[in-house]
Structure 1
């Protein structure tokens, strides 16, 4: 007894073979009715889009259907989500959960029309060659303001069939932020790894950095993938680390001196270090602070003494 899944598999294969044989031996099929410009692309790790154009001489009511087989171990399946044009004609297919196998995938697109027989189109594709790589992720830039060196770090693009860093090469591109359309100020291509060190040409400018990846080995597409979103770093108002250190040290010293002075003033330690110097006496101030009656008596005594001296002097004459 044949298992149900085997019957389904055999039925699908028989249907496909019948369609291919009819198309191959179709001497009455209309020339120019097969699809044209068939292409597929894999993106976001596991999504795939295939598109085509209707045959240039295909009848207006022609409808197309896509069947594919990812590997010999997989069943032949029809597209589950067609892309349609304004007339409702199938012109593409969207796939989800696509895995990249070592073997080539097989695609066939046939058509039907009430007016005539339609030629089919088929193609084998190595899926890794049509994968559009995602950009590197988690891109960071850390600069040493003294040495003026910067290090870029990132994570490799995510793909479903490899997790080895050496499978990729990277393009690094940098421009000034205020001149994004100008010539790159720095460009480098690196094989493998997940970090890159460079010396920037200006410390006072802001930069915009972007990266993209391509396959270098393994089963990875050698075509350049998508650019990353720009990463901004640097500052026009930037100050060197040495200057910042000097400012911090000066502020710390000033703060320490202020605290020490306040502490000393609140304790006897300040008086021990800086004893007070007595002020000189002011004779005028002392006189002004004397009792008025005493001053009057002193003046009278001085006056009487003067009068006696005068009388003695007159007698002697």
Structure 2
């Protein structure tokens, strides 16, 4: 693009002039000194938001180490449909400094903020996640259709890897993402750009990361289901066994031990009586021996 200049010392006009609008109402303009400008050259920026407005000088200059004006910060900037006019003059004790001017569409130099109020709500049964957000705030439009959005999702444990999901959506403020793995945590980022209207077509800043999903082996809903089902199944099993008698079959009664005297060999009454007499006589002999010892 040809740079219009006025009369003055060749190579003394500023170079690389650029402006950016950010945080809705702030504008920052910067430039570099002319390659052949004298060392004492000082620059001054004037601008006009529209043809109907008066020309205003910068109120907050950005200076270099030599206190030369090398930029300007503007506050309370409003963006209209027309072009704004910028003029940078210079002065020096030794030479006449060339001026620089340019007309700029302010909406084209706006750096869009990321979408706000981003939320992700996942359905644990269907495994789909509803992503919702609000459009970036700008001073000259409140229509959702003026924007397009880029959605970027990665696994939390592999942020340096490629995105597992990328989507560019025209307008709207919601998107449905189907999770491929319910046992993972995810990181989502979003950014916006103008799709229509007088909104910058350049992609804006990425949003802060939004984390969603979980790393549980078994989800909380499954634990709740198990907690309810286990006692219920136990009650049903007990009731069933009482009705069918399966409890006795599963846990049969163990018979107690038989007395030593009542073995199968002792069923003869005469033999049992003989054994009793033999034991009695042996006891009497033991008692007799004990008395003799006294």
Q: Contact 1:145/1:241 (CA < 8 Å) preserved in 2?
A: no
Q: Does 1:137 align with 2:141?
A: no
- CA offset digits 1:147-204 (Å, max 9, x no partner): 1101100000000000000000000001111111100011000000000001112111
Distance 1:243 1:86 in 2: 66
Q: Once superposed, what is the RMSD of the aligned Cα atoms?
A: 1.9
Distance 1:73 1:238, change over 3 A: farther
Distance 1:239 1:85 in 2: 60
Distance 2:134 2:96 in 1: 52
Distance 1:123 1:179 in 2: 46
Partner of 2:106: 127
SS of 1:92's equivalent?
Answer: strand
- Of 215, 224, 232, 2:203 maps to 224
Q: Deviation above 6 Å: which 4+ runs of structure 1? A: none
Gaps of 5+ in 2: 237-294
More helix by share: 1
Distance 2:82 2:33 in 1: 28
Distance 2:23 2:184 in 1: 34
Partner of 1:69: 48
Give the drift of 1:83. 0.5
- Of 212, 215, 236, 2:194 maps to 215
TM-score normalised according to structure 1 size: 0.70
- CA offset digits 1:47-80 (Å, max 9, x no partner): 0000000001101110000000001221110000
SS of 1:178's equivalent?
Answer: helix
- Of 174, 182, 191, 2:153 maps to 174
TM-score normalised according to structure 2 size: 0.75
SS of 2:157's equivalent?
Answer: coil
SS of 1:213's equivalent?
Answer: strand
Partner of 1:95: 74
- CA offset digits 1:4-32 (Å, max 9, x no partner): xxxxxxxxxxxxxxxxxxx73x3xx2111
- CA offset digits 1:190-225 (Å, max 9, x no partner): 000000001112111111100000000000010000
Q: Does 1:205 align with 2:180?
A: no
Gaps of 5+ in 1: 1-22, 258-317
- Of 15, 33, 39, 1:54 maps to 33
Partner of 1:20: none
- Of 131, 145, 148, 1:152 maps to 131
